[in-house]
Every structure is written in structure tokens, then in C-alpha cells.
Amino acid sequence: MSQSTFQLNHSPVYAKNGIVAASQPLATAAGLEILAKGGNAADAAVAAGAALNVTEPTSTGIGGDMFALYFSADTKRVAALNGSGRAPSALTLDRLKRDGFVSSIPPFHAHTVTVPGACAGWFDLIQKHGSLPMTEILAPAIRLAEEGFPVAPITSHFWKRGVERQLKSAPNGHELTIDGRGPNAGEIFRNLGLARMFKTIAERGASAFYQGEIAESIVRVVNEAGGCLSLDDLAAHTSTWEEPISVDYRGYRVYECPPNGQGITALIALNILEGFDLSESNSLSVERLHLMIESLRLAFADARWYVTDPAFSNIPIKELLSKSYAADRRKLINTQYAIRNIERGTPVNSSNTVYLSVVDKFGNACSFINSNYMGFGTGIVPKGWGFTLQNRGYNFSLDPHHPNCLAPRKRPYHTIIPAMVTKLTAKLAKGAKNKENLSDLSELSGSNNNFDEALYASYGVMGGFMQPQGHVQVLSALVDDGLDPQAALDRPRFCIDAEESGGRVAIEEGMSQETFTGLEKLGHPVYSVSGYERALFGRGQVILRDEFGALCGGSDPRADGCAGTLA
């Protein structure tokens, strides 16, 4: 790993016995507390995630969804957990039409509430990979909620915005305010309803969330607000353990959760980008940024069509992630001008969030993400329980011919994506003295036995459709430029408006005017973003194992958080 250039930002955190990186220092502390008690990466991830529900409800909560990737030090394999919920069984296109919604649903309407999957996901992660009881894992979050905590500055800014945008008008939204306003930086906020909810599920399990008084409160408030969620919808919810999807990028295996998540977008883009020699251009040069933007535009063109619930559609994942398909799509990129009106390809056989990362002393890693979607989600609060309900259903299409069209008990296109990266080391063939005759690593899959995998990085970048863009930009900084995690996260980013072909490109302050002008000349509709609006570029966490075997962590300067370690 090369040395970072000196800048007025945090140094990366180095450790031997574990690192937790999260967007709130108190959540990082919660995860470290669990590691200190002998817990592993799964235990610490759930503890930090629950603490984030308390300290950053502007982005996350148990009323939302979660995904996780878990690297087991014992098996050297990566497992994928899909903790996303489904649409209500009574929510159909006809129902929406009767309610006056033909082309879209308002973003904070009760019809955008899908079954919250986070609670079941937390318990399922612990059941399969954890080592401590949930009463111990949730104890730090319960303490924070009961005793109160000082609100962090960036969180305070977005909390106040969320009060005006959602909480002020949402049923029971006042439960997450102080006398109807958002808390100031440093002001103590207590959430006794959330503490009571955490105690309930810690003692009685996930079923206490999906059945009984909590479930009844959820259903009651959604239906009073005009929705149609039922007790049966909650009781029927299940998480799913799935085979992760992956591609090789310059000798590193990059893992994402499969659709309905949008992680495939990052993998398609990396496959396309791998065909270019990025060493010929500077990290933030017009030439390199142009190639990255175009690769991501091509990837999003596919994702907007193909990413949906695989239980309802046949998604050609293998074909979309093939190197031959990437080569065909790469031919569409012109180094002299930006592509306009990109269409999806046809591969054939011949959607505000918190992200956190934990690596423990045993070598296990958990890449963990949890979200309400748009800040506080709908802003709707089940009375007395201190958490908001997500608006993830806003990502459904209402076009009956689209694969992501709304349907009962269907999962929507999901924006939240954790990532994991391993370093591929080819095994010696029987009787061989070297590794030169083994097959190209680029064609190997995660289940192939011709190579060993060692943990390289557990990372993610939260923030809607920015997430796959952040995954690509941060990974390129780590792999192509050899930056440490903190320097990779500090680097200015771009963000494509991915919801339409040829959308505008936001350029973060810190990039040169020469770069800005150069991208304009190539035909990119660029604009500059600074201040608090830099949240547009996502907020990431990275923990990697360096060439000396030490853990190295970084936390995004666009959030309030930090990476922390045990002594």
C-alpha cells in the first residue's frame, strides 16, 4: 500500500485485534464494547447497527431493511443475507389506481411502506454467525436510548431537515422530536419507546416484532395513514440467505448481494472498467473520470431494467457479469465524448442509509447496511415505539410491463448494498512447482477450488443510487492507486443521476476547475456540490487487511463517524 499524501484529514486506524467503522462514534463504541466482551464481527455489527438506530434515526432503523455479507475466517467463504421486506399482500396496481396513483406513489405515502426486514435480519445473522445472546448485543443501544446521547453535528442538520420534510406531518412523528423540532448539535436526546422495543425483542426474539403488540401498532398506524399492511404480511416475513455474486477485478474478488439489491451495478461497471489501463491517467483526471462515469452509466442502464425480485423474474446474472458481455459493452465507450441515451444491453448465453464494517480478532468480517430509505423513511411512527417506517416501496415501478413492477409480497429494487473483497491466491496444481499454468483468475467464481481467498476489505458507501458508484470509486482508489482506507474515503467523488439515461453528474468540491471544464467539454452535464449537500456522495466505511497482516480502517469525513479499535 502506498503512502498517502499529507492532508488535513484523519489518519487511518491500524489494529491487530479488531476494528469497527461506523458513521457515529457512539455506534463504533457499541461495536467495540461487544468485541471486548468476546463477541465476533456479527455480534458487533448488530450492536453497532442498533446503536445507529438510536443515534442516527435520520438514516436507519428497525423499521427499515438490512443486508449483510459475512466472511468466515474458518471457511474462507462469503455468505449473503437479504433482510429486505416485501410489499403488502393487498397492495396491487388496481388498489393504487383506486387511490388515485397511476404513474407513481408519493414518496412518503403509507403505500410505500414495505414489511420492515431489519429485525429478522439481525436475528438471522446472529443465529448463523453470532456468538453472544441478543440481550447482551442490544444492551449498548438500550442504554443509549434510555440515558440519552448528545446528537452529532451532521446528524443534527439532517434531523432538522427530516422534521420539516416528514416528521412534522407524519402520524406520531413527534416522538422523534424535541417539542416538535430537531435536536441541536450536542443536545441530549432520549428515546424511551425505542429502548422498550429493543428490550422486548432482546428478551422474546424477532417474533415479538412481527407478532403481538409491536406488529399491531405497525399495522394500525399504516392503515390509519391510508396504507394496507396486514398482520399476516408481518407474520409471513422471512429473510433469505443467498449465494453472493462476484467478479474478479485485477486479481481481487469483489462480492455483492444478488438482486433485488443493486450491487450487480457495481460489478458490471468494474468488469467494464477493468479493460482500461487506469495507470495511464491521474486519479482525478478528466480521462479517468470519463471512463468511470461511462462504465457506470452502462451498468445503470442494465440495472434499471434487470434488478428486481428474482422470485418474480428470471434475471440473467451470469450473463450480465460475464467478461465477454463487459467487452461488448466496453466498445460503446468513446474517449472523446460522452454517450447519450444509453440503452440496456441484451446479455444471452452463446435504490439515505447507514453502512458499517467490522473485522474481529478471529479474522471474521461483517459488511453491514441498514436503511429507512429517504432519511426517516415515511416518517410514520408506530405509536409509542420510537422508530419510523421505511418508504422502500417507492422504488417499485408502476409500469405493468417492467420487471420491477409492484406486486403483492414482492421485494422492490433495493439501493442498499454492502461489499466484501478477497485477495485471490492461486493454488498449486498437484505435482506442480509453481502457479504459472493455472487458469486465468478472471474466469474463476467464488465456488471454484483452484484458488484460496484471503480477506482484503470489508467496505461500503451508503446513499441511494450513489452506492454502486461509491463502491467503484473507493475500490479503484484502493486497488488502482494503492491508497489506504482513509485516503480512499477522503478523495472527492462524482455522482451520476442514475434514474435516467444521460442524467446530470454532480462533482464534489475538491476537484479542480480543469477537471470540471474537461468533463463538460466531453459532453457530461456537470454541476458542483459543496457543504452539507456533499452527503449526496455517500458516506463510507472501509476496513482492509494490509500486506503486513494488520487491519487498517477508515471512516468517511462526510459523516459524524470514526473507525475505532481495541487495544
pLDDT in tens, the chain (567 residues): 444 343 446 789 999 999 999 999 999 999 999 999 999 999 999 999 999 999 999 999 999 999 999 999 999 999 999 999 999 999 999 999 999 999 999 999 999 999 999 999 999 999 999 999 999 999 999 999 999 999 999 999 999 999 999 999 999 999 999 999 999 999 999 999 999 999 999 999 999 999 999 999 999 999 999 999 999 999 999 999 999 999 999 999 999 999 999 999 999 999 999 999 998 778 889 999 999 999 999 999 999 999 999 999 999 999 999 999 999 999 999 999 888 777 766 554 333 678 999 999 999 999 999 999 999 999 999 999 999 999 999 999 999 999 999 999 999 999 999 999 999 776 644 444 444 333 344 444 444 556 678 999 999 998 889 999 999 999 999 999 999 999 999 999 999 987 666 689 999 999 999 999 999 999 999 999 999 889 899 999 999 998 888 999 999 999 999 999 987
Domain hosting 201: range is 16-239+354-392
- The amino acid at residue 64 is G
pTM of the model: 0.92
- Structural domain tally of the chain? 1
- The amino acid at residue 167 is L
Domain membership of residue 54 (yes or no) is yes
Residues 6+ apart with CB under 8 A from 89: 230, 232, 233, 408, 409
Residues labelled as active-site residues: 353
Q: Strand 505-508 and strand 494-496: pairing? A: antiparallel
Answer yes or no: are the C-beta atoms of 488 and 558 closer than 8 Å. Answer: no
Domain membership of residue 558 (yes or no) is no
Domain membership of residue 2 (yes or no) is no
Q: Strand 354-360 and strand 365-371: pairing? A: antiparallel
For every residue of 476-513, DSSP letters joined together read HHHHTS---HHHHHHS--EEE-TTSTT--EEEEBTB-H
Answer yes or no: are the C-beta atoms of 360 and 44 closer than 8 Å. Answer: yes
Domain membership of residue 220 (yes or no) is yes
Residue with cell 409471513: 236
Domain membership of residue 482 (yes or no) is no
What is the Cα–Cα distance from 354 to 500, expressed in whole angstroms? 25
Domain membership of residue 409 (yes or no) is no
Residue 153 DSSP class: H
Domain membership of residue 450 (yes or no) is no
Domain membership of residue 110 (yes or no) is yes
Short-list 455, 322, 281, 372, CA closest to 84: 372
- The amino acid at residue 398 is L
What is the Cα–Cα distance from 136 to 130, expressed in whole angstroms? 12
